[in-house]
């Protein structure tokens, strides 16, 4: 009897991981194997698994894979799309955030952490630098600087991500 319950629990937990967790592992394996183009294709083929609430996460994941694949313009477009979506979500009203406390957090939009936003902007700047577009790269760097400055002013102590020395460098 206990054995059956253990199997039922294991199967239930496996079902909760969903296909996205398996997809993430496959993408990581492709990136580690040095095939970022295949990783980007896999992410694109599994767009539906992200769902509408994770559109920014999809753009961040695809943007990173495209960057490593050398598709800098496409990567920059994905990072800019993610930044736009994260900015929209960041500026949503507090009352909407309070409503999420009553619902399952998994059904709310992916808002990203400060690290996610900073890394997206960092790679966006790298993309433009690698494309030989220094003016666009500087715009991305200034956006990153402004974000980090704002983060430093609004972060509560102790800040989980107070600044980014590499990005500022």
Mean pLDDT of residues grouped by 10 in the chain (169 residues)?
41 42 79 93 91 88 95 95 84 52 55 82 93 95 88 70 76
Integer CA distances (angstroms), 70 to 86, 158, 166, 169, in order: 24, 38, 21, 23
**Among the listed residues 82, 84, 79, the one whose alpha carbon sits nearest the alpha carbon of residue 123:** 79
List of E strands, the chain: none
Distance between CA atoms of 25 and 103, rounded to whole angstroms? 28
b (16+ CB within 10 A) / e for 22-52: ebbebbeebbeeebbebbbebbeebeebbee
Which residues have C-beta within 8 Å of that of residue 111, sequence separation ≥ 6? 56, 86, 89, 90
The residue count of the chain comes to: 169
Single pTM value for the model: 0.73
Q: How many CA atoms lie within 13 A of 123 on its CB side?
A: 30
The pLDDT of residue 67 is 96
The pLDDT of residue 26 is 86
């Amino acid at each position: 009897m206990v054995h059956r319950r253990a199997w039922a629990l294991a199967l239930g937990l496996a079902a909760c991981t969903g296909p996205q967790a398996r997809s993430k592992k496959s993408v990581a394996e492709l990136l580690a194997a040095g095939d970022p183009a295949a990783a980007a294709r896999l992410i694109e083929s599994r767009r539906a698994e992200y769902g509408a609430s994770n559109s920014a996460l999809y753009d961040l994941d695809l943007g990173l894979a495209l960057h490593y694949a050398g598709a800098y313009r496409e990567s920059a477009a994905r990072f800019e799309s993610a930044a736009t979506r994260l900015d929209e979500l960041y500026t949503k009203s507090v009352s909407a955030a309070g409503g999420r406390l009553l619902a399952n957090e998994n059904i709310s939009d992916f808002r990203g952490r400060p690290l996610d936003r900073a890394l997206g902007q960092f790679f966006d700047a790298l993309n433009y630098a690698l494309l030989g577009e220094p003016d666009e790269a500087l715009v991305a760097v200034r956006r990153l600087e402004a974000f980090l400055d704002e983060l430093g002013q609004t972060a509560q102590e102790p800040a989980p991500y107070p600044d980014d020395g590499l990005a500022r460098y």
